[in-house]
Structure 1
């Protein structure tokens, strides 16, 4: 059974540098026999922007958001993949607001047990951050990576990051930069290596 990967696109700019570089990574994965689905997060319909803290997800026996909208449907799909790639630019030291709405809904994919125990259908799956930064500080991406490394460790998800600081290219032109393009392809190779080390559909 082939591995399944999904790229969660957080940029509201559909022809921006993050998506252009992600396209190179997906093409490289395809060469290695790994097809990737895509979810356009800013395009998802929602009735509430983000989590409304109803806690119905924690009170029910199953996993998933009880708000019946596009964000909830996207979250429900995530456990079906072997790797989740958060492909996003950095906005003010974090992900764009559209991406944050989905991130907060992912709370519905965890259950808290006694002590610090956390159960989740995401356990064992790869969580990857694929992020671009157009500012003047390299640390802005380091902060974003730390934000994702911590929950990955808590959920038992192998973590992989691919960061593109100082990505000052005009929209969509980063993919034409040889160094950035190679970095995107190397990320795909590293992700393929992590997936090869574990069975598909775990």
Structure 2
């Protein structure tokens, strides 16, 4: 069965650089026999933004947010994929608010027992971070990467990332830059390798 990767698209610009570079990753994955899907976090219907800390997701055996809206339904599908990639530009040292709403609702996919044992259907799946920033890496992207690396370790998910500093070129044009394109395609190759996909040059 083909491996599948879902990209949580957090950029509010449909023609932005983050989405354009992510498209190169999806092309590379396809060449390796890995299928891709997208969740457009900017278009999800939500009755409450993010998590409201009601705690109801911890009460029963199912891993699902009890706020019945489009955001909850999208997050509930994440365990169906072999890898989850957060694809976002950096807004004020973090992911966009739209992407962060998805991340916050992912709390519904984690249960902690009174003894501290953690259970999640995401364990063993890959968590990826694909992030663009307009300034130098140390000011924002490294902070973001450290945060999501810790999350991956907590959930028992192998982690992979691609960071694009100084990506403040006009919207959508980053994919035409050879250096940016190489980083994007390399991310796709690494992700496919972690999923056991065939090499891009294989028949």
* TM-score bracket for this pair, using the shorter chain length: over 0.9
For residue 138 of structure 1, report the CA deviation from its aligned partner: 3.3
TM-score, length-scaled by structure 1: 0.95
- 1:16-31 to 2 correspondences below 5 Å: 16-31=16-31
Counterpart position of 1:145:
145
- 1:54-133 to 2 correspondences below 5 Å: 54-133=54-133
Q: Is the 1:28–1:188 contact (alpha carbons within 8 Å) kept by the matching residues of 2?
A: yes
For residue 114 of structure 1, report the CA deviation from its aligned partner: 4.2
What is the alpha-carbon distance in structure 2 between the residues aligned to residue 114 and residue 31 of structure 1? 45
TM-score, length-scaled by structure 2: 0.94
Q: Is the 1:71–1:102 contact (alpha carbons within 8 Å) kept by the matching residues of 2?
A: yes
What is the alpha-carbon distance in structure 2 between the residues aligned to residue 188 and residue 116 of structure 1? 35
Counterpart position of 2:39:
39
For residue 145 of structure 1, report the CA deviation from its aligned partner: 0.5
What is the alpha-carbon distance in structure 2 between the residues aligned to residue 117 and residue 165 of structure 1? 38
What is the alpha-carbon distance in structure 1 between the residues aligned to residue 161 and residue 136 of structure 2? 20
Q: Secondary structure at the match of 2:77?
A: helix
What is the alpha-carbon distance in structure 1 between the residues aligned to residue 103 and residue 56 of structure 2? 17
> Could you report, residue by residue, the CA deviation over 1:114-172 in whole angstroms, capped at 9, with x for unpaired residues?
44421100000000000000135533000001110111001110000100011021000
Counterpart position of 1:15:
15
Counterpart position of 1:200:
none
| Unaligned ranges ≥5, structure 2 | 198-203
What is the alpha-carbon distance in structure 2 between the residues aligned to residue 6 and residue 93 of structure 1? 23
Q: Is the 1:126–1:157 contact (alpha carbons within 8 Å) kept by the matching residues of 2?
A: yes
Bigger shift: 114-123 or 75-84? 114-123
What is the alpha-carbon distance in structure 2 between the residues aligned to residue 194 and residue 118 of structure 1? 24
- 1:188-199 to 2 correspondences below 5 Å: 188-196=188-196
Counterpart position of 2:50:
50
| Unaligned ranges ≥5, structure 1 | 198-202
Q: Is the 1:138–1:166 contact (alpha carbons within 8 Å) kept by the matching residues of 2?
A: no
What is the alpha-carbon distance in structure 2 between the residues aligned to residue 92 and residue 26 of structure 1? 27
What is the alpha-carbon distance in structure 1 between the residues aligned to residue 105 and residue 171 of structure 2? 29
For residue 8 of structure 1, report the CA deviation from its aligned partner: 0.6
Q: Secondary structure at the match of 2:71?
A: helix
What is the alpha-carbon distance in structure 2 between the residues aligned to residue 53 and residue 173 of structure 1? 40
Give the total of aligned pairs. Answer: 197
The 1:70–1:125 alpha-carbon spacing in structure 2 relative to 1, beyond 3 Å, is same
Q: Secondary structure at the match of 1:162?
A: strand
